[in-house]
A and B are shown apart, each in its own frame.
Chain A
């Protein structure tokens, strides 16, 4: 229960101070710190990232979702193919998917050209890759539970009974 509460909180705000988190959850700071350390060791907490809307920066970047259909070879399951793909640093995520294709790969690059050359030179040339379909992301509305649009102001009356 406590673990879940910690995770829910830091999932929304990983920068929350330990002392404050302890107060909010009504437990000691040591307890929170201990649980977090354990969860890091167990691989439940895998990292502390920052949500960035790169579109608002000077940095040029494009994100693509790539559907990958694979053919399985003797002694090689999806794990092996996924590894071949996720080892590329430009690959942000790889999921095994049920349905019409096998792997869903998110890729970030500086330009359309960079992404398409990755697909044609690296991804498609892998033996086990049968076909790919690349979708470029035009606009992010919501990511990791965060709505990217500007938050609306508090519209409540300032004082109410």
Chain B
């Protein structure tokens, strides 16, 4: 028989998270700090709106771009939160999670050989999506000494004649790093200078703990060259609803919509009705969850300080990214021993790119009580490692 598979897909590595998942999910009494989704349930009034839409029999397709009412709420939200105007009729589309937006944006924008700058450590899907779209991923390794921010110098150094697109994944999964106004201002100059486009994945925008989130689209000339990705999963604890959105200039969005139309048809209708409610009446829930995450973040940072584990202070998402290189183990070895010996699952930094070597992603989408137990085990574990080294 002939090989049924494409060379491209065979060249793509499966997600590095899989191995840990298999080990951790077979163990009993394992405490996980490994999830990438909120521990909160979707606020009840939002769920209720979803249920109500089902009761009313709203079980049909929506338009390809998504319900008009939802698109209007999305643009009103963006105006309110980042002060940027989008046209709900031509510049917004509702997607199946932020992930679909990433995929179709790359497919709509890339020609074979186009280079895409991907800062790492970052979310696992940018690189494979780029490859599947025929682009050439060029990794920018972010550095701990810059608090894992992308600097203008790093960007400048990575640009070539073929560079077309820059992925801007902040607030960042897995590091928790954010970009502030001055960082983005400097980046905008380089972007403009080299005529780059930007894929700004702002899915964690509501989870910023140092003032309000700043978006690249707020800077002069940037909105015109940016595809903005956001969604409901993280801010409203709606991961399972699979709902996100993309905003872009009409020229780009129209082409993205073609792919969406043929591949997906439309985002889930029930989720769209629930999302309208989320945007209309969910600000208070978001603020409450953000406060809770922020308290856990401070709790973890304090615990790391006390046990002498070095970690830069992250101001976004719900991850901390401590450095474990002092123990002489690779991230994967550390994580593997930690889960086997102490039954706590964390994700090695290398799952998010080679530059994550020496680091761990620890999620604080867990209750403080849960974190307290896990941190106790971490302390025990690193004390043992320190003794072994002696």
**B residues near A160, Cβ cutoff 8 Å:** 17, 21, 34-37
Q: Which residue of B lies closest to A152 (CB)?
A: B41
Asked whether any CB of chain A lies closer than 8 Å to the CB of B345, the reply is yes
- Whether A154 and B39, one on each chain, are in contact in the complex, defined by CB atoms closer than 8 angstroms, is yes
- Contact A159–B34 (Cβ < 8 Å): yes
Q: A138 near B: Cβ within 8 Å?
A: no
Which residues of chain A have C-beta atoms less than 8 A from B345's C-beta? Answer: 158-159
Q: B152 contacts which chain A residues (CB < 8 A)? A: none
Q: How far is the CA of A24 from the CA of B303 in the complex (A)?
A: 11
Asked whether B299 lies within 8 Å of A158 as measured between CB atoms, the reply is: no
For residue A157, CB closer than 8 A to chain B, the reply is: yes
B20: which A residues are within 8 A, CB to CB?
Answer: 159
Q: Which of A24, A156, A161 contacts B124 (CB 8 A)?
A: A161
In the complex, A25 has a CB within 8 A of chain B: yes
The proximity string for B residues 279-307 relative to A, scoring 1 for CB distances below 8 Å and 0 otherwise, is 00000000000010001101100100000
Contact A24/B299 with A157-B21, A159-B21 known, Cβ cut-off 8 Å: yes
Q: Is A45 an interface residue (CB 8 A)?
A: no
Q: Does B8 contact A (CB under 8 A)?
A: no
State which of B24-32, B107-115, B255-263, B325-333 sits at the interface with chain A.
B24-32
Query: Is B70's beta carbon under 8 Å from chain A?
Result: no
Tell whether B178 is near chain A: CB-to-CB under 8 Å: no
Q: Does A23 contact B (CB under 8 A)?
A: yes
Complex Cα–Cα for A26 and B25 (A): 35
Contact A158/B24 with A23-B299, A24-B299, A25-B295 known, Cβ cut-off 8 Å: yes
How far, in whole Å, are A161 and B37 apart by their CA atoms in the complex? 8
Q: Check B347–A159 contact: CB distance below 8 A.
A: yes
Contact pattern, B 1-37, Cβ under 8 Å of A = 1, otherwise 0:
0000000000000010100110011000010101111
- Is B312 among interface residues, defined by CB-CB distance under 8 A? no
Is A20 part of the contact surface with B, judged by Cβ < 8 Å?
yes
Chain A 9-45 interface residues, beta-carbon cutoff 8 Å to B: 9, 20, 23-26
Q: Which residues of A contact B39 (CB under 8 A)?
A: 154, 156
Determine the chain A residues whose CB is within 8 A of the CB of B24 once the complex forms: 158-159
B contact residues around A24 at 8 Å (CB)? 295-296, 298-299, 368
Does B338 make an interface contact (CB < 8 A)?
no
Contacting residues, chain A, for B32 (C-beta < 8 A): 154, 156, 158-159
Q: Complex Cα distance A19/B350, Å?
A: 35
Contacts of B30 in A (CB 8 A): 158
Q: Is the CB of A157 within 8 A of B35?
A: yes
For residue A25, which residues in chain B have a CB less than 8 angstroms away from its CB?
295, 298
Shortest C-beta distance, B23 to chain A (Å), equals: 9
Q: Please, which residues of chain A bring their CB within 8 A of the CB of B298?
A: 23-26
Query: Inside 8 A of B21's CB, which chain A residues have their CB?
Result: 157-160
- Asked whether B123 is an interface residue with its Cβ less than 8 Å from the other chain, the reply is yes
Interface residues of A in 24-79 (CB under 8 A from B): 24-26
A5-B291, A24-B295, A25-B295 given; A159·B35 CB < 8 A = yes
Q: Which of B89-104 contact A (CB under 8 A)?
A: none
In the assembled complex, the Cα of A156 lies from the Cα of B123 at a distance in Å of 19
Q: Which residues of B contact A161 (CB under 8 A)?
A: 15, 17, 36, 123-125, 173, 351
Closest B residue to A5 by beta carbon equals: B291
- Kindly list chain A residues whose C-beta atoms are within 8 Å of the C-beta of B124: 161
How many angstroms from the CA of A156 to the CA of B37 in the assembled complex?
8
B123 engages A157 (CB within 8 Å): no
Let me know if A23 and B302 touch, CB within 8 A: yes
CB-CB under 8 A from B347, the residues of chain A are 159
Residue with the highest number of chain B CB atoms closer than 10 Å, among A5, A26, A156: A156
Question: Closest Cβ of chain A: how far from B376's Cβ, in Å?
Answer: 13
A158 touches B35 (CB 8 A): yes
How distant is the Cα of A158 from the Cα of B37 in the complex, in angstroms?
Answer: 10
> Smallest distance from the beta carbon of A146 to chain B beta carbons, Å?
14
Q: How distant is the Cα of A133 from the Cα of B24 in the complex, in angstroms?
A: 57
Question: Interface code A139-161, partner B: CB below 8 Å = 1, 0 otherwise?
Answer: 00000000000000010111111
For B125, list chain A residues within 8 Å (CB). 161
Tell me which of A24, A154, A158 has the highest count of chain B C-beta atoms within 10 A of its own C-beta: A158
Shortest Cβ distance from residue A99 to the other chain B in the assembled complex, whole angstroms:
26
In the complex, the chain A residue whose C-beta lies closest to that of B18 is A159
Closest-CB distance, A26 to chain B (whole angstroms): 5
- Report how far A113 CA is from B198 CA in the complex, Å: 74
Q: How distant is B173 from chain A, measured CB to nearest CB, in Å?
A: 8
A159→B17 contact, CB < 8 A? yes
Pick 12 A–B contacts, CB within 8 A, sort by A.
A5-B291, A24-B299, A154-B39, A156-B32, A157-B25, A158-B345, A159-B20, A159-B21, A159-B24, A159-B25, A160-B34, A160-B37
9 more CB-based (< 8 A) A-B contacts, given A158-B21, A159-B17, A159-B20: A20-B299, A23-B298, A25-B298, A26-B298, A154-B39, A159-B345, A160-B34, A160-B36, A161-B173
Which 5 pairs from chain A and chain B are nearest by CB?
A24-B295, A159-B34, A158-B32, A159-B21, A23-B302
